[in-house]
Structure 1
């Protein structure tokens, strides 16, 4: 079916990509805009893939003529929340000689990290770039003379409300079905209103429904076999700078499915599988896993499955295993076969089965934003083969920042300075069909995809991917690489998300640039972004793109940082070698000379989280503690210690983290048992004390206590 999918929700200034699903590149498709606000002058071009650039808020309806009929899709556009902001970098803030540097490319999430689109000239000893940004914290990278050596970063905060949140609930009252919305304001925001929308693919009509505030009432007898209801929460909060004006912010949409047969059932297709929140993940940088003297192959990894199992891992993520000329594998030259040096397709499938037999799911690194520059498709594209003309993005030569003399009078679209991995063009039906074939090729082999550069692929395509892979099993996992994290990818697209806020905060704590209490600020950021409570976040301290935590941060901070990822809600992820003391970002796994104590520490973290459901709940609350003063060289700094409570229906636990290299003597004032559940030893330091309320506990890195 070519229907373009569910209703879409966006803001003015945020073009919405619309495309037929399961496209036939040789078929004819035609779009037209059949409804729009009176003040709008927006239009759609005569292309199979279009971008609706709405100029005023309101409801737009687009219609697609396709070989299987005519399809409509509703697009709700809200006011533009962006405000003018300026990034500035001064020469004395950069540890380099910039006397001869006159310009810089400025990149960030606001321009999809695309070099050459925002260039600024030097003004005295400063470089400044203006941008329109929504409320929140933003970072920009200044690449001087279009190079990353040297470079500098600048931060800016735009005041204003975050996004509200919404959750839909269904009830069957016999004659009526009720869809009730729980709408929650952004932190410090006003109570939102609710807007409901039907799915244009369904037979349910407006006359079959009645809306009263936050509730939709449906005639049970009129329900088709499947109905999908979408809703957004909309808040209208005071403008932070202009008195008397307000800022309208909308949540991402929630969707509830109504399955009407003899009984009525409800489901949330945008939610992750329930078991995911109980899982521990392990990332393997494939070609460095077997060790120093053995080349890593699928067979060699399979021989080491017992080690992965011994850690208590539930999900393994492999970096790319397709044919590629690079050790990291992200420059793919063949999407449909395994890399020659790693082994055959059959050997990879044997590895997958061995992991499954150990109770471990396998995540495949899906790289579909780009190909290698050495992929035949790109070579045919650049050499003028007509069939491949639209396979890759093209940008004006004036925007190119690579210093490469590209064939032709334009250049390929790339992100950052990634000149060897040109971006695919998702305005091409041939590319969309090709990438859907890639997804079909591997979805039946593995248990999920980690989607590389997810922010570089259109939202509409990810929504199609989700419905495609989930049609076989709801347990198939989708993890987005979106840096910084973006709540829009939660809207019926991905199951779990990189938590870049916690990652950055743990790094700042580990380097001494932030107190331990900053961890709570990072947790609140999820609410400000508009992530619903049901969203699942991947908590991590390092991965293949980042310097190792213990290498960058102060001694003694890796263990409490890792413990934070295991004692907060979400999916903790261990990057291979994190538990063995590997120092290099993509270093060889340390088998014979690894840190056994650190490995045992991680095993105990996994087991602790498995044994105590409270550590997997969503309930986190701050606990005030006192750190005893003493010898400055032998006692932890109070700002390096943090405590929080984790609660579920069965127990209440207290987690205390110490990011100082010296032990901390901590007075809790809470009625707790004194046995540390992680180490199994008594943490009390007061003679004869039976509870932590009566005595101090000693915290070297982390203790977890059961509250009475």
Structure 2
């Protein structure tokens, strides 16, 4: 079926891409905008994939004429929440803050002549990290760019002379309460089915209202539906086999825009599926992750460095080391890319349909997966479909003017080209950052969409999930199609997004769990001494500001293949409490290979013969502790009162983790020296992580509460 999918939700100024699903590149598709607000002058192109760039708020309806019929899709457009903002940086700040980078995620020191810097490209999430999109010339001692941003905290990079050597960062805060969120539930009441929405305000936000929308793919007769506030009621006899109800929460920001007008903020949509089979009626929220994911722990392997110093890594060599992975107690393993690539990191793909020659055959990879499955471990495949290597034959044919490949890659005007490469033409390939070796694929092409769906089909039966590289570079509509396609066959198949910084829109029927960049950044700031340990709570609240519902699942991590090792960047002794935070807070904790062995380099060789045995044991105990105590896997976390009797008060934080049958107190100390702390709670003094009694005195009780010694982390039962 070519129907473009569910209703879509956006804001003025944020185009929505609409495309036929299961595309046949040889078929004819034509779009028509059949309904729009009276004041709108929006139009759709004649292409099979269109981008609706709405100009006024309201409801738009587009129809797709396809070989299998005419399909209708509704697009709800909310007012533009963005406000005028300015990113600026001075020469002095550049000298203080500039860093250098010679490849994606490889950062190092840089020497440069500040007086020689004349221009810069500003990049950030607001322009998809695209060099050349927002350029600024030096004005005296300052570089500045005016942009429009929604409420929240925003970071940007100034890449000078369109290079990353050096770059400098700037921050802007736009006042606002953030986005509300919404949850749909259904029940049967006699002869009626009731769908009820719980609309939740953002922190410090106003109470939202609810808007309901129905799926244009379904046969539900809307005349049989009654909407009353936050409830939808429909007679049981009027239900088709499948009905999908979508809803958004809409609230007013407490701060007006620059013209004094009220700003509306809409949540992402939640969806409730209603399946009617005879007398039985079932309900499900298709955006939810599999329940078992809440209990999972994850291990990332940077493939080509895993076997050690004297052996080249192959699938067979990794297979021989599965007993070690099993000994850690983890449930999920994520492999960095295993497809053919000219690079050691593997993200420059030259063949999506086969494994890399140096790693081994497809059969050997499948044997490795089978061995992990026998150990009870789920396997995540790194899916790289935002770009290819520029050595991929498709890109070479594209640049050489072969007609069949003309639209396979993004093109940008020559004046926006920031690659520094003579592309021998009046256009240039699109790319992010300075990634000139990995040009972006063009998802406005049906050929590309069909190609990438074939890639997904190639691996879906081999592995148990995809970690989707540069997920923010691929259109939302495509991810929604991928999710429905995969979940229809296997609801337990996992989808993890790489979206940096995290973006709540990828929760809307797209991904099961998400990079928690807020906690990652905060733990780094705590480790370097740039933030107190209590900042951890601010990071947790950020999910609510972004508009993530309570049911969203976040991946908690302290390092990965794109980042400097935590212990290398931060103060001595801070890795253990940081890692403990990821295992004792809600979400899916992730260990990056070598984190547990003391590997100091970002993508360094795994330390087998000289690894840190105590640190490895510490991580094993973290995994075991989380597995043994359901309270650590619950979604309930609250701040606990703590007074530091001796030690650095700014380095200590405590929180309570409550389950159905137990309540635990977690105390983290990020200082290199032990702290003596009093807890305003009656706790046992045996540390559940180490098995050691950590009482600070013989009675373990003071007038203030339980008093304990904390070297790095203790977990106590109340």
Please classify the TM superposition score into its range, dividing by the shorter chain length.
over 0.9
Are 1:540 and 2:557 an aligned pair?
yes
| Aligned match of 1:101 | 117
Are 1:452 and 2:469 an aligned pair?
yes
| Aligned match of 1:655 | 666
Candidates 285, 290, 303, aligned match of 1:273: 290
Task: Call closer, same or farther: CA 1:663–1:392 in 2, change over 3 Å.
Answer: same
- Equivalents in 1 of 2:310, 2:81: separation in Å? 56
Q: Find the residue that maps to 2:408 and give its secondary structure.
A: coil
Deviation for aligned residue 1:93: 1.2
Are 1:121 and 2:132 an aligned pair?
no
CA contact (8 A) 1:674 1:690 kept: no
Are 1:184 and 2:200 an aligned pair?
yes
CA contact (8 A) 1:667 1:692 kept: no
**1:86-485 counterparts in 2 under 5 A?**
86-95=86-95, 96-239=112-255, 245-262=261-278, 263-485=280-502
Unaligned runs of 5+ in 2: 96-111
| Aligned match of 1:687 | 698
Are 1:70 and 2:87 an aligned pair?
no
| Aligned match of 1:501 | 518
- Equivalents in 2 of 1:459, 1:695: separation in Å? 51
| Aligned match of 2:573 | 556
Q: Find the residue that maps to 2:614 and give its secondary structure.
A: helix
- Equivalents in 2 of 1:647, 1:675: separation in Å? 18
Q: Find the residue that maps to 1:705 and give its secondary structure.
A: strand
> How big is the alpha-carbon RMSD for the aligned residues of Structure 1 and Structure 2?
1.1
- Equivalents in 2 of 1:664, 1:184: separation in Å? 39
Deviation for aligned residue 1:241: 6.4
Q: Find the residue that maps to 2:496 and give its secondary structure.
A: strand
CA contact (8 A) 1:120 1:127 kept: yes
- Equivalents in 2 of 1:609, 1:302: separation in Å? 26
- Equivalents in 1 of 2:705, 2:83: separation in Å? 53
Task: Call closer, same or farther: CA 1:692–1:243 in 2, change over 3 Å.
Answer: farther
Candidates 591, 605, 612, aligned match of 2:629: 612
- Equivalents in 2 of 1:669, 1:82: separation in Å? 44
| Aligned match of 2:708 | 697
Deviation for aligned residue 1:205: 1.9
| Aligned match of 1:633 | none
CA contact (8 A) 1:228 1:256 kept: yes
Q: CA-to-partner distance for each residue in 1:460-509, whole Å, 9 max, x for gaps?
A: 00000001111111100000000000000000000000000000000000
Deviation for aligned residue 1:97: 2.6
Deviation for aligned residue 1:690: 6.6
Deviation for aligned residue 1:691: 8.9
Are 1:677 and 2:688 an aligned pair?
yes
CA contact (8 A) 2:83 2:258 kept: no
Deviation for aligned residue 1:101: 1.0
Candidates 578, 584, 587, aligned match of 2:601: 584
Are 1:28 and 2:32 an aligned pair?
no
| Aligned match of 1:17 | 17
**1:636-651 counterparts in 2 under 5 A?**
636-651=647-662
Deviation for aligned residue 1:689: 3.0
| Aligned match of 1:83 | 83
Deviation for aligned residue 1:694: 4.8
| Aligned match of 1:603 | 620
Q: Find the residue that maps to 1:180 and give its secondary structure.
A: strand
**1:19-58 counterparts in 2 under 5 A?**
19-58=19-58
Task: Call closer, same or farther: CA 1:344–1:705 in 2, change over 3 Å.
Answer: same
CA contact (8 A) 1:136 1:160 kept: yes
Q: CA-to-partner distance for each residue in 1:170-211, whole Å, 9 max, x for gaps?
A: 001131000000000011111110000000000002101000
Q: Find the residue that maps to 2:438 and give its secondary structure.
A: coil
Task: Call closer, same or farther: CA 1:242–1:430 in 2, change over 3 Å.
Answer: closer
- Equivalents in 1 of 2:303, 2:454: separation in Å? 24
| Aligned match of 1:664 | 675
| Aligned match of 2:100 | none
CA contact (8 A) 1:28 1:66 kept: yes
- Equivalents in 2 of 1:241, 1:377: separation in Å? 47
Q: CA-to-partner distance for each residue in 1:617-675, whole Å, 9 max, x for gaps?
A: 1111111211114xxxxxx3100000000001111000000000000000112111111
Q: Find the residue that maps to 2:115 and give its secondary structure.
A: coil
Deviation for aligned residue 1:161: 2.3
- Equivalents in 1 of 2:285, 2:217: separation in Å? 17
CA contact (8 A) 2:155 2:170 kept: yes
CA contact (8 A) 1:671 1:693 kept: no
- Equivalents in 1 of 2:247, 2:390: separation in Å? 42
- Equivalents in 2 of 1:416, 1:687: separation in Å? 59
Q: Find the residue that maps to 2:489 and give its secondary structure.
A: coil
- Equivalents in 1 of 2:700, 2:345: separation in Å? 54
Q: CA-to-partner distance for each residue in 1:280-302, whole Å, 9 max, x for gaps?
A: 00000000000000000000000
- Equivalents in 2 of 1:97, 1:398: separation in Å? 25
**Greater mean alpha carbon deviation, residues 239-248 or residues 681-690:** 239-248
| Aligned match of 2:107 | none
Deviation for aligned residue 1:245: 3.6
Are 1:61 and 2:78 an aligned pair?
no
Unaligned runs of 5+ in 1: 630-635
Deviation for aligned residue 1:240: 5.0
- Equivalents in 1 of 2:4, 2:403: separation in Å? 27
- Equivalents in 1 of 2:658, 2:48: separation in Å? 52
**Greater mean alpha carbon deviation, residues 101-110 or residues 689-698:** 689-698
Q: Find the residue that maps to 1:696 and give its secondary structure.
A: strand
CA contact (8 A) 1:113 1:416 kept: yes
- Equivalents in 1 of 2:432, 2:155: separation in Å? 16
**Greater mean alpha carbon deviation, residues 691-700 or residues 138-147:** 691-700
Aligned length: 701
Q: CA-to-partner distance for each residue in 1:141-175, whole Å, 9 max, x for gaps?
A: 00111111111000010111210010000001131
Task: Call closer, same or farther: CA 1:174–1:393 in 2, change over 3 Å.
Answer: same
- Equivalents in 2 of 1:257, 1:691: separation in Å? 55
CA contact (8 A) 2:700 2:708 kept: no
- Equivalents in 1 of 2:540, 2:214: separation in Å? 33
Question: TM (normalized to structure 1)?
Answer: 0.98
Q: CA-to-partner distance for each residue in 1:251-298, whole Å, 9 max, x for gaps?
A: 000000001012000011110000001000000000000000000000
Q: Find the residue that maps to 2:511 and give its secondary structure.
A: coil
Question: TM (normalized to structure 2)?
Answer: 0.97
| Aligned match of 2:638 | 621
Q: Find the residue that maps to 1:381 and give its secondary structure.
A: helix
Q: Find the residue that maps to 1:270 and give its secondary structure.
A: coil
Q: CA-to-partner distance for each residue in 1:215-252, whole Å, 9 max, x for gaps?
A: 00011101011110000000013325669642100000
| Aligned match of 1:632 | none
CA contact (8 A) 1:672 1:693 kept: no
